[in-house]
A and B are shown apart, each in its own frame.
Chain A
Amino acid sequence: MIKSKFKFVFFTFLLFVIIKPVQSAEMVDPIKVNWSFKGLTGTFDRAALQRGFQVYKEVCASCHSMQYLSYRNLGEPGGPEFSQEEVKAIAASFEISDGPDSQGEMFTRPGRPSDKFKSPYPNIQAATAANGGAYPPDMSVLVKARKGGANYIYSVLVGYEDPPQGVNLDDGVYYNKYMIGNKIKMPNNLIDGLVEYSDGTESTVDQMAKDVTTFLAWAAEPELEERHKIGVKVIIYLLLLTILVYLSMKKIWSRIDTEV
C-alpha cells in the first residue's frame, strides 16, 4: 500500500522533470556526439588528445589561457600521454618569465615540465581589452563550466552561420546557432586544413573541433579515466558486500519469527 503510493508520487515527480520548460526559440539543443569518454568505462582517445593539443596550441592559445594546467600534465597517464622527451620539448618551446634573480630582476627562460601553461595575456583586463571587450575565458575547466559540456563546446565551434534575415550584428560580433543568445564575439577560427596533423589525419573543421573538444574535456577532467576505473571496481565491490550482508541479515533474522 505504502509502496504503491510511493511509486505514484515518484512517477508524478518524474513527470514534472520530463516536461521541459518552454524555452525561447533561439535556444537550439547542442549536437550530440558519441564521445569515447562517455559512459561508465569511457576513456579518452590518445591520438585525438594529442591532435587537440596541437589545435589548442596553434589556434586557441593566442587568446585563451589554460592557467590550471602544467606542461607535465601532457605526459601524465590518462591524458595525451606525450613521452617525457616530448613534454620537455613542448615546455621548452615557451618562454616563461621567472625571478627575481639574485639581482632582483625578472628574467625569462625556456619552460620546464613543472611550469603552468603560459597565458597569452598578463591578466583578465589585458585579455578583455585586447579582444574588443569580451574576455576569452580560461579553458582549464571550460567543459565543466558550460551546460551541455563537450557537446556544447563542439557545437559552438561548428555552429557559425550567416545571421538570419532581420538580425543585425555589430562589428566584431558573429552569429552562432548554438551559442546562448546566438551572438558570439569569437570569430570562426577554424577553416579546413588550418593545422597540419603529424599523424596524417585530414584537418577538416569537424575533425579539429572534435579533437580540440576532446582535449578540453580531458583538461577539465584529467581524473576521468582513473575515476571510471576505480568506480567500476567500487561498484562491483559494494554489490558483492551487499549480497553477503543481505544473506547474513536473512540468517540472523531467521532466528526470530519476523521477516525483514
Chain B
Amino acid sequence: MSKEEKKVNRRDFLFTASYTLGAVGLGAVIWPMIDQMNPDKAQKALATTEVDISNIEPGNSVTVLWRGKPVFLKRRTPEEIAEARAVKLDDLPDPQKDEDRVKEGKDEWLVMLGVCTHLGCVPLKDKGDFNGWFCPCHGSHYDVSGRIRKGPAPTNMEIPKFEFVDSNTIKIG
C-alpha cells in the first residue's frame, strides 16, 4: 500500500514540476514579446533639445518640440509673476507654489510640457479664465504658472528636466 502511495507521489511531483517549469519558460518567452514594444535604445538615447531664448520678449512665449511633445517656454512679465504668486494654495486642485515650478533667480522663465494632463491635448495660450492656458478638448483652465484651476485635468502641467546652459540658451532633457 505504502509502495503504491509512493509511486503516486512521485508521479504527482513529476507532473507538477513539469507544469511549473513549463510555465516559467512560457513566461520567459512572453517577456521579450512585450518588451519589444517599449521605447527602443535609439528612442531612449534621443537627444536633448537646446533652445535659443535671446529673442523672446517679456510676455511672449515659444513652443518647441522635445521627444515628440510640445514644450512651452514663456517669458513672464513681473505682473504675471506677481499674479501667479498671489494665488492661495488652498484654491488649487493640485497645490504647488509658483516658486517650485521655475528655476531660482530665473523666475521669469516658465518651461513646461505643453500637454494637458487630462487626455494629452495641447492647450491654447492666453486663453481661459485664469490668464494662462485653456485646453479646447475638454475645457481645462490653467493659470499663468501652468497650474490647473478649473476643468477635468487632475494635475498641473508637467515641468520637464531643463537647465540654463548660458543666459541665452536653455537645454531641455
- A residues near B (Cβ < 8 Å) are 70, 72, 76, 112-115, 237-238, 240-241, 244-245, 247-248, 251
Cβ contact within 8 Å between A114 and B14: no
Among the listed B18, B25, B42, which residue makes an inter-chain contact with A248, where contact means beta carbons less than 8 Å apart? Answer: B18
Can you list 12 A-B contacts (CB < 8 A)? A70-B42, A70-B45, A72-B41, A112-B47, A114-B46, A115-B47, A237-B25, A237-B28, A241-B22, A244-B21, A245-B22, A247-B14
- Chain A nearest CB from B138 CB (Å) reads 32
The residue from B17, B25, B28, B47 contacting A114, defined by CB atoms under 8 A apart: B47
Q: How far does the alpha carbon of A240 sit from the alpha carbon of B15 in the complex, in Å?
A: 13
User: How many A-B contacts if CB must be within 8 Å?
Assistant: 33
A75 nearest CB across to chain B (Å): 10
8 Å CB interface, B9-32 against A: 11, 14-15, 17-18, 21-22, 25, 28
| Given A70-B42, A237-B25, A251-B11, A244 and B18 contact (CB-CB distance below 8 Å) | yes
Q: Decide if B15 touches A248 in the complex (CB within 8 Å).
A: yes
Minimum Cβ distance to chain A for residue B20 (Å): 9
Pairwise interchain contact B46-A241, C-beta atoms closer than 8 A: no
Given the interface pairs A241-B25, A244-B21, the reply to whether A114 lies near B45 with Cβ below 8 Å is yes
Q: List chain B residues, Cβ under 8 A from A114.
A: 42, 45-47
B42–A241 touching, CB < 8 Å = no
Assembled-state Cα–Cα distance A152/B27 (Å): 40
Q: Which of chain A's residues have a CB closer than 8 A to the CB of B25?
A: 237-238, 241
Q: Give the chain A neighbours of B41 by CB distance below 8 A.
A: 72, 76
Main secondary structure of the interface of B (DSSP, over half): helix
The answer to whether residues A240 and B21 also contact, given A112-B47, A114-B46, A114-B47 and a CB cut-off of 8 A, is yes
Which of chain A's residues have a CB closer than 8 A to the CB of B21?
237, 240-241, 244
Q: In the complex, how many angstroms separate the beta carbon of B159 from the nearest chain A beta carbon?
A: 23
CB-defined contacts of B46 to chain A, threshold 8 Å: 114
Which B residues lie within 8 Å of A76 (CB)?
41
Contacts of A245 in B (CB 8 A): 18, 22
Q: B14 is contacted by which of A113, A115, A238, A248 (Cβ under 8 Å)?
A: A248
A74 to B3, CA, bound (A): 63
Asked, given contacts A112-B47, A114-B47, whether A244 binds B14 with beta carbons under 8 Å apart, the answer is yes
Measured in the bound complex, the distance between the Cα atoms of B17 and A247 in whole Å is: 11
How far, in whole Å, are A114 and B47 apart by their CA atoms in the complex? Answer: 6
Known: A237-B21, A241-B21, A247-B14. 4 other contacts (CB 8 A): A113-B45, A237-B28, A245-B18, A245-B22
Task: Give the nearest-CB partner of A237 in chain B.
Answer: B25
A113 to B173, CA, bound (A): 14
Q: How far is the CB of B40 from chain A (nearest CB, A)?
A: 12
- Nearest residue (CB) in A for B47 is A114
Which chain B residues border A240 with CB–CB below 8 Å? 21
CB pair B17 A244 closer than 8 Å? yes
Shortest CB-to-CB span from B29 to chain A, Å, is: 9
Q: Give min CB distance, B41 to chain A, whole Å.
A: 8
In angstroms, Cα B45 to Cα A213, docked, is 27
Docked-complex contact A251 and B14, CB < 8 angstroms = yes
What residues of B have a CB within 8 angstroms of the CB of A237 in the complex? 21, 25, 28
Interchain nearest-CB distance for B65 vs A (Å): 12
Choose among B11, B17, B45 the residue that contacts A72 (Cβ–Cβ < 8 A): B45
**A residues less than 8 Å from B14 (CB atoms):** 244, 247-248, 251
Question: Bound state CA distance, A202 and B116, in angstroms?
Answer: 60
Determine how close the nearest CB of chain B comes to the CB of A68; give it in whole angstroms. 11
User: In this complex, which of B14, B41, B46 has the most chain A Cβ atoms within 10 angstroms of its Cβ?
Assistant: B14
> Which chain A residue shows the least CB distance to B64?
A102
Q: In the complex, what residues of A have CB within 8 A of residue B22's CB? A: 241, 245
Residues of A within 8 A of B18 (CB): 241, 244-245, 248
